[in-house]
Amino acid sequence: MEKNYLIKIAYDGSGFSGWQKQPDKRTVQGVLEEAIGFFTGQDIRLNGTSRTDAGVHALGQCASFRGDFSIPPENLLKAVNSRLSGGRAKRSTVGDVKLLSIEEVDPGFHARFDCAGKTYRYVIDNGPEEDIFRRNYTGRVAEPLDVGLMREAAAYMTGTHDFKAFQSSGGEERETTVRTVSGVTVERQGTDVIIQVTGDGFLYNMVRIMTGTLIEAGLGRRTPGSVKDVIDSLDRANAGPTAPASGLYLKEIYFQEK
């Protein structure tokens, strides 16, 4: 009998053309569907919660899929991870995606439509010298950031707003651009500055544009209060630049029910 499963996934996005399957490209969805299909003998179709862009990482992406197979889920998890890790071979893309958990869920559950909220993390390398070993894992800002100013600016982003000004073109059509951001934190950790944003949903590139705008505030190039004007303007041109994909991590996903 066909059952419904929810998986949680971590990946290093630097070797992927994003989540969503595309012909002739290495995508997270494509790699996972192949690996799960290998052990279940079925054509697997993953419904991912977030269609992360090329270069964006995940600490806790989720996806649901249906299947009628005999391998116990806990064995499937181990088998898929063994296949994906390939024992630390020389190729730098081996081992860059990993299943963290698998569980059976209600037949009607859908990882995308039942998502109630997400947390994203953005890591800025703000040290005096760029760390070349982390160039694919951070966004780089060479000038010192004022975390206090960034926090003041972030406060204007919290709450329920029309975030149209924080949306790139090119994403799929949405019914509304109103979203509730329940929290934005900005912390300095060593030479890094870490931004975390939690909300009920995010528009295309929203976290990266929020980050680009907070960076401008942290560099004194805009006042924290200007963030309110940006939101009110509903105009993308007034917000900051889109911060690079390399610093962004999909950290956690919250569901209404499973």
Residue 43 CB, nearest distance to a second copy (Å)? 27
Dihedral over Cα of 64, 118, 97, 166: its sign: positive
CB closer to a second copy, 76 vs 141: 141
Residue 7 CB, nearest distance to a second copy (Å)? 15
Out of 20, 47, 136, 238, the only residue in the binding site for a second copy (CB under 8 A) is: 136
Judge contact between 27 and 61, C-beta under 8 A. Answer: no
244 Cα distance to chain centroid: 13
Out of 48, 55, 224, 240, the only residue in the binding site for a second copy (CB under 8 A) is: 55
Judge contact between 210 and 197, C-beta under 8 A. Answer: yes
Q: In sequence order, which residues have a C-beta less than 8 Å from that of residue 61 and are 6 or more positions away? A: 8, 9, 10, 11, 19, 28, 48, 49, 50, 52, 250, 253
Residue 244 CB, nearest distance to a second copy (Å)? 6
Q: In sequence order, which residues have a C-beta less than 8 Å from that of residue 220 and are 6 or more positions away? A: 146, 149
Judged by CB under 8 A, the stretch of 6-14, 42-50, 148-156, 225-233 that binds a second copy is 6-14
Establish if 171 lies at the interface with a second copy (CB under 8 A).
Answer: no
Active site (catalytic) residues: 53
d(CA 134, CA 123): 10
d(CA 241, CA 65): 36
d(CA 105, CA 109): 7
206-218 helix and 147-157 helix, angle to the nearest 10 degrees: 140
For residue 180, give both structure tokens. Answer: 């509730």
CB closer to a second copy, 30 vs 224: 30
Q: How many other C-beta atoms are found inside a 10 Å radius of the C-beta of residue 257?
A: 9
Out of 23, 88, 170, 237, the only residue in the binding site for a second copy (CB under 8 A) is: 88
Residue 82 CB, nearest distance to a second copy (Å)? 12
Binders in 216-255 for a second copy, by CB under 8 A = 244-246
Out of 26, 135, 228, 236, the only residue in the binding site for a second copy (CB under 8 A) is: 135
Out of 26, 83, 98, 112, the only residue in the binding site for a second copy (CB under 8 A) is: 98
Establish if 204 lies at the interface with a second copy (CB under 8 A).
Answer: no
Dihedral over Cα of 189, 192, 193, 196: its sign: negative
Establish if 212 lies at the interface with a second copy (CB under 8 A).
Answer: no
Judged by CB under 8 A, the stretch of 65-73, 95-103, 110-118, 219-227 that binds a second copy is 95-103
Out of 5, 15, 36, 161, the only residue in the binding site for a second copy (CB under 8 A) is: 15
Establish if 191 lies at the interface with a second copy (CB under 8 A).
Answer: no
Site residues (vs a second copy, CB under 8 A): 10-12, 14-15, 54-55, 57, 88, 90, 92, 94-98, 130, 132-133, 135-137, 140, 244-246
